[in-house]
Structure 1
Amino acid sequence: MPISARRVETFGTTIFTEINVLAQQYHALNLGQGKPDFDTPSDIVAELVKASQAGNYNQYAPGPGTPDLRQAVAHHAARFYDLDIDPDRGVIVTAGATEGLLSCVLGLVDPGDEVIVIEPFYDSYVPNIIMAGAVPVFVPLHPPTWTFDPDELRAAFSNKTRAIILNSPHNPTGRVFTREELTLLAELCIEHDVIVISDEVYEHLTLGDASYLSIATLPGMFERTVTVSSAGKSFSATGWKIGWVYGHPDILDGVARAHQFITFAVHHPTQQAVAYALNQPDSYYRAFKEMYEDKVELLMSSLEGSGLQYSRPQGTYFIMADFSHVFDGMPFDFTRYLISEIGVACIPPESMYSKEHRHIGKNYVRFSFCKSDEALRQARIPLQKLRLKA
């Protein structure tokens, strides 16, 4: 008798767990998982301590989230995107963005529906679709510019398409989709009556001249977009696992129905701290961006001269690098070599592609620069051990 359910039989251990284990085994400098090696700002942590000790926040929180955090999410959407969100009926607090994405898929997608996925993709998207009994349809981004082919995007839409999962700024490529690209996507969604599940966890991590545009702000899109974000990236608090979903109350209803039976409620005192964090002044968000502008320069400096080919990302805290000039093999082979022989860990993107498109990213790995300045500088010495192929 099989032990596992068929819906999970294709799910292996996540690549992030595999690489973290290998990095520990070989004592490698870990530039793999997008997890800062520095702490959450102290004033935000102090709010968590304060809430924990207040005596009012250590029992179940309201299922949709605390009133303070739902109001903060609505205010944040108005402040940055000029969106009018109902804090009572248009916001759901989730156990991180990952749970928010699952709640969106389970609450909005029926078995047999098709869901378009832009690849490479964050590794929970496809398992979520499979658990909902739906069918993923893949549209690849093409290196080195990481842009989609408009004809390939159009061809992915059909009368079975229920939703598309959009991630911008995009993990792992660092792309920030342009107004032109988002407008085409919006037009197709309106034409085919498709919902957008917009993963915006890197919304405050744009770099250089890149400007982030929320697809919910485009004409006709607010009523068909659910926006997912979290505190993890914007406040260097990935361990807190506080996320949220917002949108029009009619589309949020299905998400709320799923959420209540996945986690019911999210850690109560942390919600209070995140409400405080979201209301940080503009100076916080400027300093946050400036910090990562410096960090991307440090990582690019360490990659310089290594033989790895890369471009400056437009957003996120990741760089995709082409290793084909220094190594023959697939990304996981190179990653294992880099960890065991060079002493630096990265993430291979094989698990972020469908089988039919895996060849598109066959020469690339992802490096993370959400690390201390010292760690990013230290990477230069081992990376210089790489040698161009003869």
Structure 2
Amino acid sequence: MPSISTRTDTFTESMIRKMTRISLEHNAVNLSQGFPDFNPPKELLDRLREVVYENFHQYEITWGSQRMREALSKKHGHFAGQKIDPEKNILVTCGSTEAMMAAMMTICNIGDKVIVFSPFYENYGADAILTGAIPIYVPLNPPEFTFDADVLENAFKQRPKAIILCNPSNPSGRVFALEELKIIAGLAEKYDTFVITDEVYEHIVYEPNKHIYFSTLPGMFERTVTCNSLSKTYSITGWRLGYIIAPEYIVDAAKKVHDFLTVGAAAPLQEAIVAALNFGDDYYKNLLKIYSTKKDIFINGLKRIGLNYTEPQGAYYVMVDVSEFGVTNDINFCQWLAREVGVGAVPGSSFFRDNINNYIRFHFAKNEDTLNEALNRLEKLKKKAAAANYNFK
């Protein structure tokens, strides 16, 4: 038989999804894969019930329904202060996962280089490889997860086609400050580089931090492809609704890629989500209040237990340093944690390019009862780890 493609030879199963399976197997509290265990807004569910009996069961316009694109344009304009043409600047995708892949395939040729900050959401490296691009990894230095401007410029000197910027960051929870974004913008302009942003957690940013839409920086709209999703903002990770905002010439090309990747996102869901996109400011203020409370519950619990963590500035993840347990193999540690302690986490090595394996990632997008149960179980972590002689190699 002929051989199959070598494109995926370096791939492994998504560690995030793997840890969900392991959590289920051991009846562990799953704080690995980042999805809520609570319902979307009632108004959204009510509209979905209505849509089921309306005429939205056939193909929509490939690049997104008119009503959804108009609602996205209005919402983005309100929060970013940026006028976006729903006909020219928006492409609706099947989640931000497809948005990122469509962006990469639109911008990059085989052999082009792409800067990726490390730690990174695990899809970014795979996206580069599937596109035929070559990733250049630039470290975000723990525990603050900041970058060295000189190291970043050295990466830009390799003349990359693009840089991927996740802000707020998954997995670190870092929110980039204006001065940091200006450094990136200046280098992008100096070396004529595209910026692909992932801004999925735009509305989950904890005070006093502020989210700054990268494309709103002076001169950046024409070279920025903003990838986003509605999964986290409206607690609908299974709906797989995402979008791209970009200049017309990029969106026109991305539409062709999207057309042959997925044809289009689910028509009934596109219609239903319009109800949520039209929510007023109070919804987003309440969303932040809810997640701020969850963060405080979980962070205070980690503090009480005595674990070393980096407090997130945004998103709903927290990185915990487990080096005190003698961990040299974080994958084994996370499997042990799910099996013996009953809490699921993601090995940090799946996010880092360098050989960094002393971090694990928890998420706190759960009901308070779920978080408290996880913390109750983690109270036994140190005792159980000591009994295991810290043998996580």
TM superposition score normalised by structure 2: 0.95
- Give the structure 2 partner of residue 95 of structure 1: 94
- Name the CA shift for 1:31/1:2 in 2 (closer, same or farther; >3 Å): farther
- Give the structure 1 partner of residue 9 of structure 2: 9
Return the offset for 1:250.
1.6
Return the offset for 1:311.
2.8
User: Residue deviations 1:101-135, cap 9 Å, x none?
Assistant: 00000111111110100111111111111111110
> Partner of 1:166: helix, strand, or coil?
strand
Supply the AA of the counterpart residue of 2:329.
Answer: M
- Give the structure 2 partner of residue 160 of structure 1: 159
Would you say the 8 A contact 1:307–1:323 is kept in 2? no
- Give the structure 1 partner of residue 185 of structure 2: 186
- Give the structure 1 partner of residue 382 of structure 2: 387
- Give the structure 1 partner of residue 195 of structure 2: 196
**Aligned ranges 1:307-386 → 2 under 5 Å:** 307-354=306-353, 357-359=354-356, 362-386=357-381
Would you say the 8 A contact 1:60–1:268 is kept in 2? yes
Return the offset for 1:4.
3.3
Would you say the 8 A contact 2:106–2:250 is kept in 1? no
> Partner of 2:168: helix, strand, or coil?
coil
**Displacement over 6 Å in runs of 4+:** none
Sequence identity, in percent?
A: 37
Supply the AA of the counterpart residue of 2:43.
Answer: D
- Give the structure 2 partner of residue 217 of structure 1: 216
> Partner of 1:232: helix, strand, or coil?
coil
Return the offset for 1:278.
1.3
**Aligned ranges 1:1-390 → 2 under 5 Å:** 1=1, 3-54=3-54, 56-158=55-157, 160-354=159-353, 357-359=354-356, 362-387=357-382
Name the CA distance, whole Å, in 2 between partners of 1:358 and 1:50.
51
**Structure 1: unaligned runs, 5 residues or longer:** none
Supply the AA of the counterpart residue of 1:324.
Answer: S
User: Residue deviations 1:267-320, cap 9 Å, x none?
Assistant: 001011222211111000000000001000111132223332013210000011
Would you say the 8 A contact 1:140–1:148 is kept in 2? yes
User: Residue deviations 1:145-179, cap 9 Å, x none?
Assistant: 01011111111113531011110000000000000
Name the CA distance, whole Å, in 2 between partners of 1:328 and 1:17.
22
Name the CA distance, whole Å, in 1 between partners of 2:225 and 2:47.
29
> Partner of 1:241: helix, strand, or coil?
coil
Would you say the 8 A contact 1:35–1:370 is kept in 2? yes
Supply the AA of the counterpart residue of 1:372.
Answer: N
Name the CA distance, whole Å, in 1 between partners of 2:17 and 2:296.
27
Mean CA deviation greater in 299-308 or 161-170: 299-308
Name the CA distance, whole Å, in 2 between partners of 1:223 and 1:295.
37
Return the offset for 1:241.
0.2
RMSD of aligned residue pairs (Cα, Å): 1.4
TM superposition score normalised by structure 1: 0.96
What is the count of residue pairs matched by the alignment?
Answer: 385
